[in-house]
Chain A
Amino acid sequence: MSTVLEMSGVTRVYPGTPPVPALRGIDLRVDSGELVSVVGPSGSGKSTLLHIMGTLDRPTSGRVEVGGFEVGRMSDRQLSALRAQRIGFVFQQFHLLDAETALDNVADGLLYTGRPAAERREMAAATLERVGLAHRMRQHTSKLSGGERQRVAVARAVVGRPALVLADEPTGNLDSASSESIVELLEELNAEGITLVVITHNPEIAARFPRQVALRDGMVEADSAAVAVAL
């Protein structure tokens, strides 16, 4: 099983007086095909960790490797290409373009890959079908329910079969029924081979996933995989 994400000694200090350390030495490895939950109280550094995993932010120190690429040595343009082709994001606020249809929103997941428009739409249509929204394809996303909107966002994240999908509180804005269906969708996608890291503060959801990483004060407090190895 190949490594998708490897972090060693990662710190992130936000400048200020005094400087605010958000991450204080994270060592973490995620292998291909894993489904990992990251839990922790607010302020524990979950979002910062996700941003650094997704190359949206750079660590103050330490080493990050995503999909075999060492992030520290890459330019902003190279990181953009890495995000376009290897990383998918799901946000708590969905971040859909409501002026566009569900299909176009999903196809936008491939916008910066250089694939031709017809191919993007074809892949988007297949992915929407996969998440059970074939009948909503032509609808503007503003007309969809919260659960449906997050399904569109998930479809956008996985449409290019990225090496790593990062989800930041994907159920945070949803009622429990929609929440359940999104978690089930994530589990199904993982079963189909998608590697997923999901930030959540919902312990029930976290407990369902095969591996849990707990953060506290910018450090890994517990990692079920490490425990398994130690045992």
Chain B
Amino acid sequence: MNGPGLSPSRMHLADLLRTSGVGLRTRKLRAGLSALGIMIGIASLVAVLGLSESSKSDLLTQLDRLGTNLLVVQAGQGIGLGNAELPDTASAMVGRIAPVEEVSAVGDVDANVYRTDLVPSSQSGGITVKAVETNVLETLGGRVASGRFLDEAADEYPAVVLGSVAAERLGITSLESGALVWLGSQWFPVVGILDPIDLSPDLGRAAIVTVAVAEEYLGYDGVASTLYVRTDPEWVDGVMDVLPPTVNPENPDQVEVSRPTDAIEAKAAAESAFTNLFLGLGAVALLVGGVGIANVMVISVLERRSEIGLRRALGATRRHVAAQFLLEALILAAVGGIGGVLLGAGITAIYSQIRGWGVLIPGLALWGGLAAALFIGTVAGLYPALRAARLSPTEALRTT
């Protein structure tokens, strides 16, 4: 029986927002702390996603730059194989495989390199000597940090290029004063120092000479131990299969073929595994934040019984009361969520900057983070809101 002039209780959205804000404005510390819980959870989620994405994209750029089409052929060094060597013909044979674009042979030279001739011969500093073909740097995609690489003209005279690690160990940082190293039993001028080579740490630790110089001055037998092979990217797997029989037709199983970029890909995969773990931890933090909000809201409903009673007396429906408290929880969660997204993005940006990665925060992390916060806020606010709505007006108004 609805008589004339009685319209349903109505409330404007702006008023709902205002009433929901009352509890937050009057209890700022409590509101701030419970929003902080959500903020930490969201920030960790966003940061984990952002950092893993940034690091992964860095690895992918690295892979792109290095190229996944480099293969390394080495003599097998398993038990019972002795110190197997690659056959003399290996380099030439591999060069005849159609998709192979470049081959470069590297051999071990039995010699040590020293800063001066006064260092006892046992203190080699772990620096090896390698005899290389002059195209090796190009094949590996390496770069010269200073000076120049070996070239045909250098073939005729003793000259050495140092890998980045080798140069550091020998204490040679600049070529300006005409650095010399004691190699074998004579002085070699250092003509260049390399940048670190990602795909061949071996060469980084080596003093590098041309094959001709190694044969003439260092007693090198000309037998390569390692072949670096660049192939057509489309045919990498096929080339991997035919390399062993091509290199050593008699004993193909004594040939090891590897792809150095596999290690980087494995690293990327391992990082994804860690990402999942950290995402799980972030989700736990978020859950704890949600429990914090639920806790604060339950207390708030208990403390504000008389306000609930008053609002019912003023004509609020149960739905108005529920909406007020639910919205209050949502505002808390949204504040925490926005703060968390900003904090997480900030952490990602700063850490990526430090590591020299490009900053990459997936949009999913930003919107997903906010959505997760709101979802948690809804779940956390639902029970207290329903409790507030179910309170009978007379009970709410009773003060004793």
User: Which residues of A does B touch, CB under 8 Å?
Assistant: 51, 54, 56-57, 67-70, 73-74, 76-78, 80-86, 89, 91, 93, 95, 97, 99-100, 108-109, 111-114, 116-117, 156
Contact = CB atoms under 8 A, between A and B. Distances in A.
A80 B312 contact: yes
Contacts of B5: 85
A95 B315 contact: no
A81 B7 contact: yes
Given A81-B6, A117-B12, 11 more contacts: A80-B320, A85-B6, A95-B309, A111-B311, A111-B314, A112-B9, A112-B314, A112-B317, A112-B320, A113-B315, A114-B12
Given A51-B394, A76-B317, A111 B6 contact: no
A56 B8 contact: no
Contact of B313 (A73, A89, A117): A89
Contact of B1 (A70, A85, A100, A114): A70
Contacts of B392: 57
B99 interface: no
B1 A112 contact: no
B306 A78 contact: no
Interface of B: 1-3, 5-12, 14-15, 19, 22, 25-26, 306-307, 309-320, 392-394, 397, 399
Nearest to B26: A99
B394 A56 contact: yes
Contact of A83 (B11, B15, B314): B314
Per CB-CB distance, the 4 closest pairs between chain A and chain B, nearest first, are A84-B315, A114-B10, A112-B315, A56-B393
A85 B319 CA distance: 17
Contacts of B7: 81, 85, 114
A75 to B, nearest CB: 10
B1 A69 contact: yes
B306 A80 contact: no
Nearest to B317: A80
Contacts of A97: 22, 307, 310
29 contacts: A51-B394, A54-B313, A56-B313, A56-B394, A67-B3, A69-B3, A76-B317, A76-B318, A78-B6, A80-B317, A81-B8, A81-B9, A82-B6, A83-B312, A83-B314, A83-B315, A85-B315, A89-B313, A93-B306, A95-B313, A97-B307, A99-B26, A111-B11, A112-B10, A112-B315, A112-B320, A113-B9, A117-B15, A156-B314
Contacts of B11: 111-112, 114
Contacts of A99: 22, 25-26
Contacts of A89: 313-314
A86 B314 CA distance: 10
Contacts of B319: 77
Contacts of B311: 111-112
A82 B307 CA distance: 19
A73 B2 CA distance: 10
A113 B320 CA distance: 12
A139 to B, nearest CB: 16
Nearest to A108: B314
A77 B8 contact: yes
A67 B394 CA distance: 21
B8 to A, nearest CB: 5
Contacts of B9: 77, 80-81, 84, 112-114
A117 B14 contact: yes
Contacts of B310: 91, 95, 97
Contacts of A74: 1
Contacts of A77: 8-9, 317-319
